[in-house]
Amino acid sequence: MPATPIRPIVADDAGKPNGTTELRRQNSLLKTGALQDAIFNSANFSSIATDEKGVIQIFNVGAERMLGYAAADVMNKITPAEISDPQELIARAKALSVEFSTPITPGFEALVFKASRGIEDIYELTYIRKDGSRFPAVVSVTALRDADDAIIGYLLIGTDNTARKHVEAEQKKLDQRLRDQQFYTRSLIESNVDAMIATDPSGIITDVNKQMEALTGCTRDELIGAPFRDYFTDPERAEAGIKLVLREKKVTDYELTARARDGRATVVSYNATTFYDRDRTLQGVFAAARDVTERKRLDQALEETNVELERAKVAADRANLAKSDFLSTMSHELRSPLNAILGFAQLMESASPLPTPDQKASIDQILQAGWYLLELINEILDLALIESGKLLLSLEPVSLIELLADCKAMIEPQALRSDIRLSFPRTDSSLAVRADRTRMKQVLVNLLSNAVKYNRPGGLVEVTCSATTAERTRISCRDTGAGLSSEQLAQLFQPFNRLGQEAGAAEGTGIGLVVSKRLVEHMGGQIGAESTVGVGSVFWIELTSTGALQAVVGSTEPGPVAGIEVPTDVRIRTVLYVEDNPANLMLVDSVLARRSDIRLLTARDGSSGVEMARMSRPDVILMDINLPGISGIEALKILAGDPLTAHIPVIALSANAMPRDIEKGLKAGFFRYLTKPIKVLQFMAALDIALKLPN
C-alpha cells in the first residue's frame, strides 16, 4: 500500500512546533492508516487498485482468496481486464460506445470509462480465477485523484455474486414452474367441454373459461365482476342455486337455462361445489354447466321409441354383466395387497413395546379403513355374482331361533358400544323358513347393523317374527332412529346411495341393502321398509315357511376359536408355508417371528412345497390355493396320498373367499380354510390347534 503523504508541521506564533497539534495529526494519521489496512486486508471483498494506465498496484487478501492469485503474481504485471471475461468486455465496450457516442476500446478502458468521467459505476462481470474457473462478481469502480483532481489510478472493489446468482436461478426455476402450473391449470379449465364458472360467496363471477364465453356470447372481461344470476332466464333460480351450494357444499344436476347476449337459450345441467383456500377459508363456488339441450331432445326421442329403449336396456345389462365378471375377478387380486396391509397393521398394533398413542391412533385408522375396504370388496363381489347369474344358493329349512341367536351374538358388541338395547323374540324352536343359512344370516346382520348404526343414543332395536299367510313368515327389524322421508324410501336399494349419510360419522358402502334385496329375492322372498320421520324405521323380510324342522344342518363355516393357550413347551415346531406372493410370505414370517417355538420354512410353488414337506416333515403346512404349476388343492392331494406327509395338518390361506371356495377347500381335506386378509389372532388360534394334534 502506498505510504501516507506527510503533511508540514504547523508552528506556533513564536515559530516553534505546536506539540499538541502535531500529536493530534499523528493520531489521525495512525487511525487513517489502520482503517486503510482493514479495508485492503478484508477477506470478504476484493480490493484492486491500479495506476492511471490500469496496471495493478494493490491486490488485497480478498482478491487473492477470490481469484487464486498471489499479489506478487499480478502487481505491476497485468490489468483487471486480463482477469475478466473478454466477451463481456467486448459487449460492455459496444454498449458504452453507443451510450456515450464515442468509440471505446474493449479492455481496461471499458471497465473504468464511466468512473474516469466522475460517474458512479457499479456493474456485474465474470472474473476468471488463476485455475481457469469463473465466478460472477459485482464490481464498484472509483477513480483515484490527487490534490489537483488529476486521475492517478482506479479502485475496483468486488464481491462474489455466486450465491445471489444461484438464488436468482432457483427463483427463475420456481417462477417458471409456477407459470407452467398456472398454464397447465388454465389449460385444464379451458379444455373442459363444460362451461366453468367461479364466483365469490355473494355470487359475483370471479373467473370463467372459453365455454362460458361461448354460452353467453360475452367476453371474459365482461363476465368477471358481474352477478352470476344475470346470465340465466330465471335469475331467482340461479341465485338460489348458489345459495344451495353454500348451504349443502355440493349440488348436482341442478337444471338452469342460460341466456346469451343474442337471446339464444341453452338448457344446462349445473353441478357445483364450494372451494376454499389453504387455511380452509371459504372462497366461493366452482360450477360446471353442461349443455344438455341435445340430451333432453334425445331423451324425448328415446321415450317415443320403445324399441330403442329396449335395446339400450339390453346393452346396459350386457355391460353390467361384463362389469360384474370383471369385479368378481378383481376381488381376488385386491385381497392379496389387503392381506399385507391389514396383517402388518395388526402386527404393529400388538408390537413390543406397544405403539405410542399417536401411532396407535394411526394404526387404528389403517385397520378401520382396511376392514371397511374388505367389507366393500365382499359386498361388491356378492353383487357382481348375483348380477352375473353365478350366485349359488343352498336352500334348505333354517331354524329361526338358531339363526336369530347367531345374529344377536354377532351384533351385540356393536349395540353395546352405541348404547342400543336389543330385543329378540322367543320363537318356537320348530319354526323354520326356506333359505340359504349363510346368506340369510348375512342379510339379517346387515339390517341389524344398520338399525344400530343409524339409531339414536339409548335407542332400541326390536326383532319380531310373524306369519303373514299360511305359507309366508315375516321377520321385522324395528329401530328408533331418525326415520326416512318418502323421497328417501323411494331411493332405498339403489347401489352406492347412502341417502345423504355420506358426510355422516357412520361408515357404510351404500350397497349392503342392494345385496340383501338381491339375496332375499333369489331365495324366493321379499324385502321392504316403512318409516316415519322422527319415530324410526321397520325393515322386513318375508320368506317361505316350512313345516316342522327336521335336521337343520349347521354352518360349515369354522367358528371363532376362544381360549387358545400360549405354548409353554420349549420344543421347536416347524411350519411350512407354500406361497408365491412375497408380501404374504413376509407377513406370515413377521407373525411367526414372535413365537420362539416355531421355525418357518417357505416354498414358492406347489411342487417344491410337496418336496420340502417330504424332506423336512413339518408339524403344520400353510397352503395358498392359486400357486404356479400345481394348485394348492392338487398339492394337498399329493400330500394326503403320501404316507410320509398324510398325517400333517394343512391349513389353507387363500384369497378365494367365496362360500363355495371355502366349502370346496374343506371337502378337499384342509384342516382349516382361512381367507385373506387374515386376522392374526384367528390365524394363530387355528395354527395352535393344528400344532396340538398328535403326529
Report, as an integer, the average pLDDT of 7-15.
44
Nearest-10 Cα torsion for 240, 246, 252, 253: 10
Range picked from 70-79, 175-184, 482-491 for highest mean pLDDT? 70-79
566 falls in which pLDDT band (50, 70, 90)?
A: very low
Instruction: Name the residue with higher pLDDT: 671 or 381.
Output: 671
CATH for 430:
3.30.565.10
Q: Angle 357-387/512-522 helices, nearest 10 degrees? A: 40
Which whole number is the average pLDDT over 49-65?
Answer: 92
What's residue 564's pLDDT? 36
7 within some domain: no
Given pLDDT bands bounded at 50, 70 and 90, which one contains residue 439? confident
Last residue of some domain: 498, 527, 546? 546
- Asked if the structure places residue 183 within a domain, the reply is no
Stronger pLDDT, 317 or 401, i.e. the higher one: 401
Lowest mean pLDDT among 82-86, 222-226, 321-325, 589-593: 321-325
Per residue in 118-139, pLDDT (tens digit) is 898 999 999 999 999 999 999 9
pLDDT of the residue at 561: 33
Does residue 86 sit in the same domain as residue 150?
yes
Does 638 fall in a domain?
Answer: yes
pTM over 0.85: no
Give the residue from 272, 301, 330 where a domain finishes.
301
Q: Are residues 260 and 311 in the same domain?
A: no
Give the confidence band of 467 by pLDDT, cuts at 50, 70, 90. Answer: confident
Out of 331-345, 372-386, 568-582, 608-622, give the one with best mean pLDDT. 608-622
User: How much of the chain, in percent, has pLDDT values that exceed 70?
Assistant: 81
For residue 519, being part of any structural domain is answered with yes
CATH number of residue 599's parent domain: 3.40.50.2300
Residues 420 and 503 in one domain: yes
> Both 366 and 441 in a single domain?
no
Q: Could you report the per-residue pLDDT of 168-222, keeping only the tens digit for each?
A: 777 888 877 877 776 666 666 676 778 888 999 999 999 988 888 888 889 989 8
Question: Which residue range(s) make up the domain with 214?
Answer: 192-301
* pLDDT surpasses 70 at 328: no
Q: What mean pLDDT comes out for the span 592-596? A: 87
Q: Are residues 479 and 449 in the same domain?
A: yes
Best CA proximity match to 687, nearest among 574, 557, 556, 568: 574
- Would you state the pLDDT for residue 357? 84
User: What is the CATH classification number for the domain harbouring 361?
Assistant: 1.10.287.130
Q: What gap in Å lies between CA 541 and CA 545, rounded to an integer?
A: 12
Residues 282 and 140 in one domain: no
Residue 460 has pLDDT above 70, yes or no: yes
Q: In the predicted model, is pLDDT for residue 393 greater than 80?
A: no
Long-range pairs for 253-261 at CB < 8 Å and ≥24 separation? 255/292, 256/232, 256/289, 257/232, 257/233, 258/195, 258/215, 258/216, 258/231, 258/232, 258/233, 258/289, 259/216, 259/231, 259/232, 259/233, 260/215, 260/216, 260/217, 261/216, 261/217, 261/218
Residue 135's CATH number? 3.30.450.20
Q: Is residue 313 part of a domain?
A: yes
Q: Is residue 424 part of a domain?
A: yes
> Residues of the chain with pLDDT > 90: what percent?
32
pLDDT of 400 strictly over 80: yes
Please indicate, yes or no, if residue 591 is contained in any of the structural domains.
Answer: yes
Looking at the structure of the chain, the number of domains it has is 5
- Give the pLDDT score at 570: 60
Instruction: Among 531, 546, 561, give the residue marking a domain's end.
Output: 546
One domain for residues 203 and 338: no
Q: Are residues 682 and 587 in the same domain?
A: yes
Give yes or no: residues 129 and 213 share one domain: no
Whether the pLDDT of residue 4 is over 80: the answer is no
Least confidently predicted of 133-147, 327-341, 436-450: 327-341
Mark whether 112 and 237 lie in a shared domain.
no
How far, CA to CA in Å, does 356 sit from each of 2, 320, 362, 590?
Answer: 72, 47, 10, 20
Question: What's the confidence (pLDDT) of residue 96?
Answer: 93
Least confident interval from 33-47, 426-440, 461-475: 33-47
What does the mean pLDDT of the chain come to? 81
Say what the pLDDT of residue 90 is: 94
Whether residue 284 is predicted with pLDDT greater than 70 in this model: the reply is: yes
What's the pLDDT score for residue 389? 67
Q: Is residue 442 part of a domain?
A: yes
Do 539 and 423 share a structural domain? yes
Residues 422-444: what's their mean pLDDT?
A: 82
Query: Burial letters for 407-430: b for 16+ Cβ neighbours within 10 Å, e otherwise?
Result: bbeebeeebeebebebebbebeee
Shared domain for 45 and 147, answered yes or no, is yes
